[in-house]
Amino acid sequence: MSPPRRARILLLAACLTLALLPAGLPAAASKADVDLVGEQLVCYCGCSGLTVKACTCGTADAIREKIAGQLDSGLSTADTVAIWVDERGEQILAVPTREGFNLVGWFMPFVVTLLGLLMATVVVLRWQKQATEAAATPRGTGTEDPDSAYLKRVEQGMKNLHR
Protein backbone atom coordinates (compact mmCIF):
# COMPACT_ATOMS: atom_id res chain seq x y z
CA MET A 1 0.00 0.00 0.00
CA SER A 2 1.36 3.41 -0.93
CA PRO A 3 2.10 5.94 1.84
CA PRO A 4 -0.44 8.56 0.63
CA ARG A 5 -3.18 5.94 0.46
CA ARG A 6 -2.23 4.66 3.88
CA ALA A 7 -2.31 8.20 5.30
CA ARG A 8 -5.81 8.73 3.83
CA ILE A 9 -7.07 5.49 5.39
CA LEU A 10 -5.61 6.44 8.78
CA LEU A 11 -7.13 9.91 8.50
CA LEU A 12 -10.51 8.42 7.57
CA ALA A 13 -10.33 5.96 10.50
CA ALA A 14 -9.43 8.78 12.89
CA CYS A 15 -12.36 10.89 11.65
CA LEU A 16 -14.78 7.98 12.01
CA THR A 17 -13.50 7.25 15.49
CA LEU A 18 -13.95 10.86 16.54
CA ALA A 19 -17.40 11.02 14.95
CA LEU A 20 -18.63 7.84 16.64
CA LEU A 21 -17.01 8.42 20.04
CA PRO A 22 -19.60 10.88 21.42
CA ALA A 23 -22.44 8.58 20.35
CA GLY A 24 -21.18 5.88 22.69
CA LEU A 25 -20.91 8.14 25.73
CA PRO A 26 -24.00 9.22 27.65
CA ALA A 27 -24.80 12.89 27.18
CA ALA A 28 -24.81 15.21 30.15
CA ALA A 29 -28.24 15.51 31.74
CA SER A 30 -30.07 18.54 30.46
CA LYS A 31 -31.79 20.92 32.85
CA ALA A 32 -35.09 20.00 31.18
CA ASP A 33 -34.61 16.32 32.04
CA VAL A 34 -33.65 17.14 35.65
CA ASP A 35 -36.72 19.41 35.88
CA LEU A 36 -38.91 16.67 34.39
CA VAL A 37 -37.87 14.26 37.14
CA GLY A 38 -37.98 17.06 39.74
CA GLU A 39 -41.63 17.81 38.89
CA GLN A 40 -42.55 14.22 39.72
CA LEU A 41 -40.83 14.11 43.11
CA VAL A 42 -41.65 15.96 46.36
CA CYS A 43 -38.79 17.47 48.32
CA TYR A 44 -38.48 15.75 51.69
CA CYS A 45 -36.94 18.74 53.47
CA GLY A 46 -40.16 19.21 55.44
CA CYS A 47 -40.42 22.94 54.96
CA SER A 48 -43.13 23.21 52.34
CA GLY A 49 -44.11 20.02 50.51
CA LEU A 50 -43.07 21.50 47.15
CA THR A 51 -41.75 19.51 44.23
CA VAL A 52 -37.99 19.18 43.89
CA LYS A 53 -38.14 21.49 40.87
CA ALA A 54 -39.94 24.26 42.80
CA CYS A 55 -38.25 23.96 46.21
CA THR A 56 -35.31 26.28 46.87
CA CYS A 57 -33.79 24.60 49.93
CA GLY A 58 -30.41 22.92 50.10
CA THR A 59 -32.00 19.48 50.24
CA ALA A 60 -33.68 20.09 46.88
CA ASP A 61 -30.34 21.22 45.42
CA ALA A 62 -28.72 17.98 46.59
CA ILE A 63 -31.59 15.94 45.15
CA ARG A 64 -31.29 17.74 41.80
CA GLU A 65 -27.54 17.01 41.75
CA LYS A 66 -28.19 13.34 42.46
CA ILE A 67 -30.87 13.24 39.73
CA ALA A 68 -28.41 14.83 37.27
CA GLY A 69 -25.82 12.21 38.20
CA GLN A 70 -28.29 9.40 37.65
CA LEU A 71 -29.30 10.82 34.28
CA ASP A 72 -25.63 11.33 33.35
CA SER A 73 -24.99 7.66 34.05
CA GLY A 74 -27.44 6.78 31.28
CA LEU A 75 -30.65 6.16 33.22
CA SER A 76 -33.91 7.32 31.68
CA THR A 77 -36.20 9.74 33.49
CA ALA A 78 -38.64 6.90 34.26
CA ASP A 79 -35.84 4.74 35.67
CA THR A 80 -34.62 7.63 37.81
CA VAL A 81 -38.09 8.19 39.25
CA ALA A 82 -38.41 4.45 39.90
CA ILE A 83 -35.12 4.45 41.82
CA TRP A 84 -36.34 7.32 44.02
CA VAL A 85 -39.63 5.51 44.67
CA ASP A 86 -37.69 2.35 45.62
CA GLU A 87 -35.48 4.35 48.00
CA ARG A 88 -38.09 6.63 49.58
CA GLY A 89 -41.44 4.94 48.94
CA GLU A 90 -44.46 6.24 47.06
CA GLN A 91 -44.81 9.26 49.36
CA ILE A 92 -42.00 10.93 47.38
CA LEU A 93 -44.23 11.07 44.30
CA ALA A 94 -45.91 14.42 43.73
CA VAL A 95 -48.91 12.66 42.17
CA PRO A 96 -50.10 9.22 43.33
CA THR A 97 -49.98 6.39 40.83
CA ARG A 98 -53.24 5.38 39.19
CA GLU A 99 -53.31 1.82 40.44
CA GLY A 100 -54.42 -0.15 43.46
CA PHE A 101 -55.65 1.74 46.51
CA ASN A 102 -54.35 5.02 45.06
CA LEU A 103 -57.36 5.00 42.72
CA VAL A 104 -59.42 6.04 45.74
CA GLY A 105 -57.44 9.27 45.86
CA TRP A 106 -58.28 9.93 42.23
CA PHE A 107 -61.99 9.09 42.31
CA MET A 108 -63.17 10.05 45.81
CA PRO A 109 -63.29 13.81 45.19
CA PHE A 110 -65.65 13.25 42.26
CA VAL A 111 -67.78 10.74 44.18
CA VAL A 112 -68.07 13.04 47.22
CA THR A 113 -68.96 16.00 45.00
CA LEU A 114 -71.69 14.03 43.23
CA LEU A 115 -73.09 12.75 46.54
CA GLY A 116 -73.10 16.29 47.92
CA LEU A 117 -74.99 17.58 44.88
CA LEU A 118 -77.47 14.71 45.17
CA MET A 119 -78.08 15.42 48.87
CA ALA A 120 -78.50 19.15 48.22
CA THR A 121 -81.04 18.39 45.48
CA VAL A 122 -83.03 16.10 47.79
CA VAL A 123 -83.07 18.72 50.57
CA VAL A 124 -84.20 21.49 48.21
CA LEU A 125 -86.95 19.29 46.75
CA ARG A 126 -88.21 18.43 50.27
CA TRP A 127 -88.26 22.09 51.27
CA GLN A 128 -90.14 22.92 48.11
CA LYS A 129 -92.68 20.14 48.76
CA GLN A 130 -93.20 21.29 52.37
CA ALA A 131 -93.72 24.87 51.23
CA THR A 132 -96.35 23.88 48.65
CA GLU A 133 -98.14 21.63 51.16
CA ALA A 134 -98.17 24.41 53.76
CA ALA A 135 -99.55 26.87 51.21
CA ALA A 136 -102.27 24.41 50.14
CA THR A 137 -103.51 23.75 53.72
CA PRO A 138 -106.23 26.30 54.69
CA ARG A 139 -105.79 27.95 58.07
CA GLY A 140 -108.47 28.20 60.73
CA THR A 141 -110.48 25.20 59.57
CA GLY A 142 -110.60 21.65 60.73
CA THR A 143 -110.56 20.41 64.29
CA GLU A 144 -110.16 22.40 67.42
CA ASP A 145 -106.72 23.62 68.40
CA PRO A 146 -105.04 20.96 70.59
CA ASP A 147 -104.00 23.58 73.13
CA SER A 148 -107.57 24.80 73.66
CA ALA A 149 -108.82 21.21 74.10
CA TYR A 150 -106.15 20.66 76.74
CA LEU A 151 -107.07 23.89 78.52
CA LYS A 152 -110.73 22.85 78.64
CA ARG A 153 -109.78 19.55 80.27
CA VAL A 154 -107.61 21.32 82.82
CA GLU A 155 -110.41 23.76 83.67
CA GLN A 156 -112.87 20.85 84.03
CA GLY A 157 -110.43 19.10 86.35
CA MET A 158 -110.03 22.25 88.47
CA LYS A 159 -113.81 22.58 88.82
CA ASN A 160 -114.05 18.97 89.96
CA LEU A 161 -111.40 19.59 92.63
CA HIS A 162 -113.30 22.48 94.21
CA ARG A 163 -116.50 20.55 94.76
pLDDT, one tens digit per residue, over 19-78 is: 666 544 445 668 888 889 888 888 888 777 888 888 888 888 899 999 999 999 888 989
Mean pLDDT, to the nearest integer, of 6-28?
A: 64
What pTM, to 2 d.p., does this model score? 0.50
C-alpha–C-alpha distance, residues 4 and 49, integer Å = 67
- Residue 142 predicted with pLDDT over 60: no
Q: Classify the C-alpha dihedral 42-46-50-54 as positive or negative.
A: negative
Q: Specify the pLDDT at position 48.
A: 75
Residue 25: the pLDDT is 43
- Phi/psi for 98 (5° steps) reads -95, 60
- DSSP-derived 3-state class of residue 67: helix
Neighbours of 81 (CB within 10 A): 19
Dist CA 133 CA 125 (whole Å): 12
What mean pLDDT is predicted for residues 120-138?
88
**Residue 156 to residue 62: CA distance in whole angstroms:** 92
pLDDT confidence band for 91 (50 / 70 / 90): confident
pLDDT of residue 22: 53
Mean pLDDT across the chain: 82
Which pLDDT belongs to residue 140? Answer: 58
Q: Which CATH architecture has domain 24-92?
A: Orthogonal Bundle (1.10)
The domain spans of the chain are 24-92, 98-131
pLDDT for residue 51: 87
